[in-house]
Amino acid sequence: MPIGVLRERPNSPGDGFRYDQGEMLTPIDLRAFDKSDDYRAMLDGLPRPEVVADFPTAGVLAILDDVRARGDDALRALTSKFDGVDLDELRVTPDQVALARTRISGELRDALEVACAAIRDYQERSRLVASQERYERDGITVSELCIPVARAGLYAPGGRARYPSTVLMTAVPASVAGVREIVLCVPPMKDGSIDDLTLAAADLAGVNEVYRVGGAQAIAAMAFGTESIAPVDVIAGPGNRYVAQAKRAVSGIVGVPSAFTGPSEVVVVADASAPVLLAAIDLVVQAEHGPDGLAWLITWSEKVLDEVTAEVTRLVASSPRNSDLVATLAKGGYAVLVNGPAEAMEVANYIAPEHLELCVSQPSVLVQMVRSAGAVFLGPNTPASLGDYVAGPSHVLPTNGSARFAGALSVEDFVKRVHVISADDGAIARLGPSVEALAIAEGLPAHAESIALRGAQGR
């Protein structure tokens, strides 16, 4: 395997890293490391795009302040500055949204309907299970009201590309949750419009309002409100680091799902049985989304590493999006060689990727070792692309390591769980003494008295 000794990098644990910059995937050899004390240091030294460290915090906060102060005027000025589009009307009219479904091809219309039906079915089943939860113990019964937020704000990337699938993956869960008003912001194209496929998806998914606004300014508008856009209760949807940082900044003013939904990521764990072309194309698929993402191959076979790396290089060279792929893989494309499956999963769990593909002969064994991932895809016939469009769960997944504590966007992100508690006639007698003892210990005599009075009435 043509690898060289690692040149100096920040926080490098030593000579165990090896690489060669002549290929699309930079090889890293971790076979010298075992489960000794330096193993965690080795993991901490793995190269990763420093998205968090590069957050444009000051610039984003300035945009938020501008929109909060000047409303629509700020949105128009910022859209002109960042998107090169001068807009009079920010909203896409309901008639324009509805007509979009008639302007796309029958094939695309059918594809949207297939995807929408799969997403809706999955989310409805998930909500049904959640609504049936009930707890009973010692005469106390607890159930839950799942109350949808009144107004949800969604963000879908746009401008250079279009992501109707993201519209479905965000709007359908909100619709299934019962949200009455669903708002969508999308960056406009150079002519000031939103493409028909995106609008058709919005119409199909039940979006009520569509606005031609992108970037941090769209998040500000939905959080604070402007003359044209009323404020929302929850903001969801993926975006670049400006959008992600803006969502973090307004969290607490509005609800924001805990997952960091930024640039796309994939880790492919492959053994000797992995089809080289399929493993390679799945690495390219996520890199296709743009800069700051991750595309990692992890294997314990030198042959697999060499062959998949070569195939990725070939695929990138022939891709019409060659420049985007090269830019992404130059910063976030790696091929990691480890001692075996357990070590492969250690590395995968540390990365906590958005998409984890187990392209191995026995994926059911490795999936038991998963601790942190947005979504896991089992076997060579289950690419992440299925999850991107038609598997059912939302493709809005945690990135940048947030899979350590967060999961996919779902109905749960658009509802408030309100506990409903009732007690039978004997509950005070059985549990009251414990309440009184704790309340007195905390210096809250009225709490204790509220129990004592009921106990007295029951005697």
User: What are the residues facing 378 on neighbouring strands?
Assistant: 358
Report how far residue 246's alpha carbon sits from residue 241's, in angstroms, rounded to the nearest whole number. 8
Report how far residue 20's alpha carbon sits from residue 18's, in angstroms, rounded to the nearest whole number. 7
Task: Decide if 23 is catalytic.
Answer: no
Residues with Cβ within 8 Å of 331's Cβ and at least 6 positions away in sequence, in order, are 49, 291, 292
Single-letter code of the amino acid located at 295: A
The answer to whether the beta carbons of residues 241 and 55 sit under 8 Å apart is yes
Report how far residue 224's alpha carbon sits from residue 397's, in angstroms, rounded to the nearest whole number. 25
Set 346, 354, 412, 436: catalytic member: 354
The answer to whether the beta carbons of residues 401 and 258 sit under 8 Å apart is no
Residues with Cβ within 8 Å of 65's Cβ and at least 6 positions away in sequence, in order, are none
Residues with Cβ within 8 Å of 424's Cβ and at least 6 positions away in sequence, in order, are 139, 140, 141
- 286: buried, middle or exposed (CB in 10 Å: 19+, 13-18, 0-12)? buried
Written as one string, the DSSP assignment of 76-102 is HHHHHHHH----S--EEPHHHHHHHHH
Set 311, 355, 395, 412: catalytic member: 355
Run of H or E including 134: none
Task: Decide if 354 is catalytic.
Answer: yes
Q: How many CB atoms lie within 10 A of CB 342?
A: 12
Which 3 state secondary structure label does DSSP give 286? helix
**Which residues are known catalytic residues?**
354-355
